[in-house]
Chain A
Amino acid sequence: MTQLPNTHRDVLSFVRRVQIGTIAVALCFQARAEKLDTVLAALGCLGCHADEEEQIPEPASLRRFDAKEMASLLREYREGKRSGTVMNRIAAGLTNQDIEAIAGFLGKRP
């Protein structure tokens, strides 16, 4: 049996964390719906970016960044402080909430 890609491990730790978070927000329906939005926003990134250690330098493997680094990179792309090819265009369509959600889901666990 082959080993699963890291997405699955991310999912697991995410699920555990969200579960705690969900209980904390006292079953607030809207809050739970937002959690699924979070997952959806983050899944869009996996169409291009590997989430495993990759030998190729670009596009960057998402394994490289923790949540804080990832959020700050996305903001820099959005605000034009960092220039890329595609990332400026994509980041331009993200809200602060999207950025936090994506980084929280895909950022490297400490």
Chain B
Amino acid sequence: MIRRRRFLRLLAVCGMGWGLGGCASGKGLRSGGRVVVVGGGYGGATAARYLKQMNPGLTITLIEPQETYLSCPGSNEAVAGLGDMGTLARSYDWLRRELDIGKVTARVARLDRQRRRVILNDGAEVTYDRLVLSPGIDFRWEAIMGYDEAASRFVPHAWKAGPQTALLARQIRAMPDGGLVLITAPPSPYRCPPGPYERASLIAYYLKKHKPRSKILILDAKTRFSKQPAFEQAWRELYGDMVEWVSSEKEGRLERIDAAGRTVETEFDTFRADVLNVIPPQKAGVLAEQSGLTDASGWCPVDPLSFASVYDPAVYVIGDACQADPMPKSAFSANSQAKVCAAAIVASLAGEPPPDPLLINHCYSFVAPDQAISITGVYGYSRDDGQLIVRSTGETPPHGDRRREAGYARAWQRSFKKDVFGY
């Protein structure tokens, strides 16, 4: 077994990063450089890790306000009282200890892109040669009349894991039998396309067991959704008519929410819920917006070859905040993009062009604690039009082996965290 120091020393002796010929081309990829990563979720933590592993000569600083990260994948199980929130948590200790990544626990006040500095809330400044932004999502609070951040304190969105997850879980436990759980699903694009439907499935599992006269209604801003055939089949087979999905074609626009009364008004109807879960329309994390890295869509346009911002070649945006069509906004996508971005930065600091990317997305959704469905995509880069292209895609077929996939999904939850946080 090789310990960290030996590993770093051996790489240093080779004088190179992965695969690129440092020894052969003098300084090569062992060139130093300061890379700052803002955001310690799946995207940012993966980028920090692989930047350091691809070139141990880099100084990596990871800026993230939380000491402990809580995983969004797995949080729907916690909502339905099926999982322990503790299993969602990961610290940055391994990255700090094993890879000498500097973790700064602070909020970023703003970026000074001209001077290549990140300015923290306490006024401290961190200088970078390359900056990776992985700020995740923020909500368009102005998009739904009657639903804002204050309202979310008692009508949760639970779309960022943490206190919101726990609040929604408590409300579902406290709900009377025969009650209505109403979930409003947002328009695309948004974080975790199949997430609202996995959530409905797992809540249905809980309700069927403990409050079997209850109902779940999903009011959708869309006319179709991710893994729809597999979800609808699972709902019929497992929960009868407990879960009802309503397309925007039927109910029209979501007009207004009365958070105190837990009431939702659409163009044609009014619904009163016992538990109301509003998943609002989304945009890139506000830091990206404030830093001038978003376009009119609210998301960050990037060159998918490297994930460099189209507005600033020294700033790279990965994860939910970037536009990487046709990849969905998922933890797996963020992890895959982070690896591509890390390789591109390592190459760029050595004055080399980025390598051709191969990207993967793979998302499991639990429809019951022991049954899961999935969707998969493999993506390449087309030099002709400078865009990502789908190389292959697929999802769980009707009558797929949902129990086997559930076993894989559990294994994925563990190995994925290990690939990102090291344990």
Contact = CB atoms under 8 A, between A and B. Distances in A.
Contact of B360 (A32, A36, A90): A90
Contact of A23 (B24, B332, B353, B377): B24
Contact of B411 (A15, A22, A46, A48): A48
B343 A36 contact: yes
A46 B378 contact: no
B353 A33 contact: yes
Contacts of B356: 33, 37, 40
Contacts of A40: 339-340, 343, 355-358
A39 B347 CA distance: 13
Contacts of A110: none
23 contacts: A2-B97, A4-B3, A4-B4, A14-B19, A15-B19, A18-B18, A18-B19, A19-B14, A23-B23, A32-B25, A33-B355, A34-B355, A36-B18, A37-B357, A56-B411, A85-B405, A86-B405, A88-B394, A89-B392, A89-B393, A90-B392, A93-B392, A94-B378
Contact of B20 (A32, A43, A47, A85): A32
Contacts of A92: 378, 391-392, 394
Given A39-B343, A89-B392, A32 B19 contact: yes
Contacts of B94: 2
Interface of A: 1-5, 8-9, 11-12, 14-16, 18-19, 22-23, 27, 29, 32-41, 43-44, 46-50, 56, 58-59, 85-86, 88-94, 98
Contacts of A47: 332, 335-336, 360, 362, 412, 415-416, 419
B408 A15 contact: no
A101 B149 CA distance: 48
B21 A44 contact: no
Contact of B355 (A11, A36, A59): A36
B407 interface: yes
A4 B95 CA distance: 11
A61 to B, nearest CB: 9
B292 interface: no
A16 B374 CA distance: 38
A2 B98 CA distance: 8
Nearest to A18: B19
A11 B422 CA distance: 15
A56 to B, nearest CB: 6
Nearest to B353: A33
B367 interface: no
B19 A1 contact: no
Contact of B24 (A27, A36, A86): A27
B336 to A, nearest CB: 6
Contact of A8 (B7, B16, B21, B412): B7
Contact of B1 (A4, A41, A43, A86): A4
Nearest to A15: B14
A4 B97 contact: no
Contacts of B395: 89
B173 to A, nearest CB: 32
Contact of B18 (A15, A46, A48): A15
Identify the 8 closest CB pairs spanning chains A and B, nearest first.
A93-B378, A93-B392, A89-B394, A93-B391, A35-B19, A22-B21, A92-B392, A36-B355
B136 to A, nearest CB: 18
A85 B275 CA distance: 35
Interface string B390-416: 111111100011001101100110011
A15 B10 CA distance: 10
Nearest to A27: B24
B210 interface: no
B376 interface: yes
A1 B359 contact: no
Nearest to B21: A22
